[in-house]
Structure formats: C-alpha cells, structure tokens
Chains A and B, each alone.
Chain A
Amino acid sequence: MTKKIIDITSISHTFADGYKGINNISLSIYKGEFIILAGKNGSGKTTFLRHLNGLLLPDSGQLFVNGNDVKKHLVQTRRAIGMVFQDTDTQIVGDTVFDEVAFGLENLKLSRTKINDKVTKVLKNLNLFHLKNRAPFTLSGGEKRKLTIAGILVMDPQVIVFDEPFSNLDYPGTIQVLTTIIDLNRSGHTIIIATHDVETVIYEATRIIIMEDGHIKEDGVPFDIVRLLESYGVKEPSTSKFGLGIQPWRK
C-alpha cells in the first residue's frame, strides 16, 4: 500500500476579519500522487495550501505530516512539504541563482561544502547550472519558476505544492515548468497544484479536488470529475467538452 504522507482531520481556519478561509476539511494525501486542487478565485485553495506548509495553522482540527503534528513540528513539516508561490519575484531572495538555491540549506545550517554540493547537483538536474552566476531578476518567467522549484527541491521535500505555477508564463515557459513538474512526479515526489486552469495538467493528474467557499466539494479521479468542473466555475478542458476525453496538453 502507498505510504500516507499527509493526514488532515476536520481543519478550519477563520481570518481575523471573520472570513472563513477553509471549513471542515478532511483528506489524506499519499506518496506519488499528482493532485490538482481546483476552484474559482476565493475558493480557499491558497489558504488550504498554506496549512500544508505550516504557514497557517488551523483553528480547529488536526493536520499530520508523516505522523507528526504540524503545530509541534514546523521545521520537519517545511522540509517535507516544499511550497512554490504564485509570484516568483517576491519569493526569490538570493542575488545569484546559486545563492537563491542555497538559501534553504543555509537555514538548515548545513556545512558550506554540503551546501555547494547539493546546490550544484540540483542546478544540474534542472538544467540551470549554466545560469548559476546570473541575477535571478534577469531570468525569463519560465527560468524563474524553475529556479523557485530548485530552491525547494534542494531541501529534499517529499511533497511539492504549487500555487498557480503557470500564471504569467508564455507557452515555452509553461512547457518548461510542466515538464519539470512531471519529471519530479516521476522521480517519486508527490505533487499538489492549485489552479483554476486545469487543462494544462489534467492529463498527468491522478486526483482532482474541487474547492468552493472553503469546502471540498469533489474529490476523485480526473475521469469522474472532469465533467463537473464548470458547475464549480472551473473551465472544462476543450478536449473533454468536444467528446475527446482527457488529452495531454503538451505534444
């Protein structure tokens, strides 16, 4: 049986202004899954994702990562669950590509030799090594997104969470990032992607979760869910609409 990584029981979160971000969510996430978290704007996707990384803590309910309570094991949680944010510019802190990837490892207090080795390995794996001395803000959108993935990957996470990974990317940039995400999933990482544009990734997904008003409305395999997407304000892939089923987005 596949290993359970995340176990969530009835978590809710209410913001200071009284707005309920997520409400009574329960689910389990297993190793190797490729999950799409879909829903229209304001459905609670980002709030939910931030709970997985311990950036937000639930007001009620429990969230366990590898059997550890997130509230009590924040560092272990953040090592296990890497998060790639929507806006790449505001999450890049290093002034070269190399420094940016090294940031997380410096936080974990690894030795300088180990940091250099791990960063070099990840940059080579993601085909970013030739850019190691470049200033991140001079990179293209796709390269920047790959850099943020490298910054997470170097910390050896089991799960990588993406918040709208294809926003503001052109076609080559989207292909670049999609290919990286698929490769990560094939190498054993669990992937969770929050998006309202499911067409790009639905072919690769093993599971779709649909959120609305902070609740989980649907949770199942893409084949069963795809026709329900539009009733929750999410665009159904064109191929499915025209009766061609779920087709790969990239050639």
Chain B
Amino acid sequence: MAQITPFTYRQGESILHLLDPRCKFFMICLVSMSLLSAHLLACFFYGVILFFFFKNAGLNIFSTLNHIKYFIVLLFFIFAARALTVKGDIIFSFYELTITGQGLKEGTLVTLKFFLVMVTGILFACTTKSSGVKNAVQWFLRPIPFIPEKRVAVMISLSLSFMPIILNQAKEISEAQKARCADLQKNPVKKIIRLVLPLLKKIFLSADNLVLAMESRCYSDDRTEPEFLPSGREIYFIGASIILSLGLAWF
C-alpha cells in the first residue's frame, strides 16, 4: 500500500473540505502573498487561525510535523543563517560568530513565515482532491492566452496523485539497498545518486505505463467539463481572506 504523505488528500466533511477549490486557491494565493510583509504578531495571529482550521479538518498536528521534520531542519538553518548574519545589538559572541537581537527577531520572522506558508499549503492539499486542484487550475488559466490550461492542469493533478506512489517506490528502493548493506556507504552524495538513479528509472517507466493506460481509455484534451460544487459559503470566505490579508500586510 502506498504511503500517506502530508500532501495527500484526506476524506472529510470539514468547512475547508466543502469549499470550492477555486475559492481555496484564491485564498491561499492572497494570504501567502500578504504574509510576506506581515509582522511577528500578525504571523502568530494567522498561526492561531491555521490551528483552528487544522483541527477542524481532522488533521493530526504532531503527525504532520513529523512528516515535515526535514523541512523544519531546513528552517533551523535559515534561522541560524539570519541570526548570525544580520547586524545589530550583539547578544552573544564566539570568535567570529555573533548573534544579534535583530538577527534573532528577523530569523524568527522569516522561519515563521516559511512555516506558515508550508502549513497553509498542506492544509489546502489535504482538503482538496487532486481533481479539484486540476479543475481550479484549469479555470484560472483559461483566460490566459497561449497556455494549454487543460494539459497544465492534468500535469499538476497527476503529480499530486502520484506522489504517494513515488514515495513508496523510493522507500522500496531504499529498503532493497539497505538489505544489501548500503548503510555502510557514508558518502551522502553517493547515497543520493544510488537512490535517485533507479528511482528516476522507475518514475519514467511508470509515466510510460500511465500514458498507455490513459490512451487506452480514449484520453484527449477535449473532455467533459469539470464540475464545481460550491458550498455557498465561498463569498464569506473570500471576504474574510481579503480582510485577513489586508490585516496581515498592515500590522
């Protein structure tokens, strides 16, 4: 059985699950952009809102954090880089390394913003079917000339659908290598190459099979138009997200 990733759609009846994917798409874009200029307090406020929706969607916070632990490590490096490079009032100094108050504050702000954007994305992915994402992308791209919106949308939706299978394949390859003492190899670059090359081969083969399977079921760009089932609350959510975005940008 394939793995459930933090980006896998989970079945549910929460407010976000029932919301039209186009509305969620609009909200996620708006809020993510306004987060760029948000201050610390505004970020914390947005964090509380996210926490509410996370609980409401029935997602397990600790399990999600566990899934994104490598991303959290990356955030720690970003935080350290900021804390050590921003000039200001020195709090701690060791040889050439100095940590400043301004650096700590800026590091916290940047990592918090990255974290919130990531969690917003997870919330969107967990509450929206990949077909919903596909339909929303297709709808937004339709007015833009020279972009094959149907093809782009299908590519995005297939990437999302196949993520668990790709991760499963990566796990299988890794376990097969471990069974032959691949752990003894300490060079991380060689380790990655050994994993990535067979994985890529498998992904291309799977993609080939997928194309054949889609073709055998008469796939073409000219298909039944996507169906949207709005819950009726979309207008309130759009209004609230605009107010929230203005608030995040100003405070």
Contact = CB atoms under 8 A, between A and B. Distances in A.
A138 B129 contact: no
A94 B131 contact: yes
B214 interface: yes
B217 A104 contact: yes
A151 B227 CA distance: 19
A115 B218 CA distance: 15
A55 B131 contact: no
Interface residues of B, number: 31
A90 B2 CA distance: 12
A137 interface: yes
B223 A135 contact: no
A93 B161 contact: yes
A112 B224 contact: yes
B130 interface: yes
Residue among A91, A95, A104, A115 with max Cβ neighbours from chain B (10 Å): A95
Given A93-B158, A94-B131, A151 B224 contact: no
A73 to B, nearest CB: 12
Interface in B137-171: 157-158, 160-161, 164-165
Contacts of B96: none
User: How big is the A interface, by class?
Assistant: 35 or more
Interface stretch (A33-41, A77-85, A179-187): A77-85
A106 interface: yes
Interface in B202-224: 206, 209-210, 212-220, 222-224
B8 interface: yes
Interface in A64-95: 75, 78-79, 82-83, 85, 87, 89-91, 93-95
B220 A107 contact: yes
B224 A106 contact: yes
Nearest to A99: B131
A135 B11 contact: yes
Contacts of A89: 2, 165, 206
B1 interface: yes
A159 to B, nearest CB: 12
A44 B218 CA distance: 24
A111 B227 CA distance: 11
B229 to A, nearest CB: 11
A137 B5 CA distance: 12
B8 to A, nearest CB: 7
**Residue in B213, B214, B219 with the greatest tally of chain A CB atoms within 10 Å:** B213
A133 interface: yes
A87 B209 contact: yes
Contact of B209 (A90, A99, A137): A90
B46 interface: no
A91 B106 CA distance: 48
A103 B217 contact: yes
B224 A95 contact: no
Contact of B213 (A91, A106, A115, A134): A91
A25 B200 CA distance: 36
Given A107-B218, A108-B218, A112-B227, A137 B2 contact: yes
A105 B219 CA distance: 10
A105 B217 CA distance: 9
Contacts of A109: 222-224
A134 B29 CA distance: 29
A112 B228 CA distance: 11
A158 to B, nearest CB: 15
B81 to A, nearest CB: 38
Interface centre among B160, B218, B219, B220 (most CB of A within 10 A): B218
A20 interface: no
23 contacts: A53-B216, A79-B218, A85-B209, A87-B209, A91-B213, A93-B210, A93-B213, A93-B214, A94-B161, A95-B130, A95-B157, A95-B160, A95-B161, A96-B11, A96-B129, A107-B217, A107-B219, A110-B224, A111-B224, A134-B11, A137-B1, A138-B2, A155-B218
The 10 closest A-B pairs by CB, nearest first: A91-B213, A137-B2, A90-B209, A104-B217, A106-B224, A107-B218, A90-B206, A95-B130, A83-B216, A106-B223
